[in-house]
Amino acid sequence: MTTAGTEEEAEDLAGALVEAGLAACVQIQRVRSVYRWEGETRREPEWLLICKTRAGRFEALQALVHEKHSYAVPEVVQLPITAGAPAYLRWLAEATAEPPAAG
């Protein structure tokens, strides 16, 4: 999970993650966030990105988010998938498979 400050940034980040094979799917929703930053309570619209991936791809996904994100401290949170429809989980694994090593 991560958030973005603009819809355009959310779309760009989602596209980059899917195109890199780091996420099988990214859902984007507009949300209102209330948070503490630099000693102030802030209330701002954000776009929530729910990135579907495998645990083994999390580090690479996190690195790409940090590389492309405009926030000084972007939210990057991993929530485990504890169960799911077998066909969906197979698709997710296939969509986020690491490319074969060059030999």
Indicate if the alpha-carbon torsion angle 60, 88, 5, 75 is positive or negative. Answer: negative
Residue 56 lies in a domain: yes
Residue 15 lies in a domain: yes
Residue 83 lies in a domain: yes
- pTM score of the predicted model: 0.89
Instruction: Give the confidence band of 99 by pLDDT, cuts at 50, 70, 90.
Output: confident
Residue 76 lies in a domain: yes
pLDDT tens digits, 56-69:
999 999 999 999 99
Residue 103 lies in a domain: no
CATH number, domain at 11? 3.30.70.120
Residue 37 lies in a domain: yes
pLDDT tens digits, 74-97:
999 999 999 999 999 999 999 999
Residue 84 lies in a domain: yes
In which domain, by residue range, is 87 found?
A: 2-96
pLDDT of 98 reads: 83
The number of domains in the chain is 1
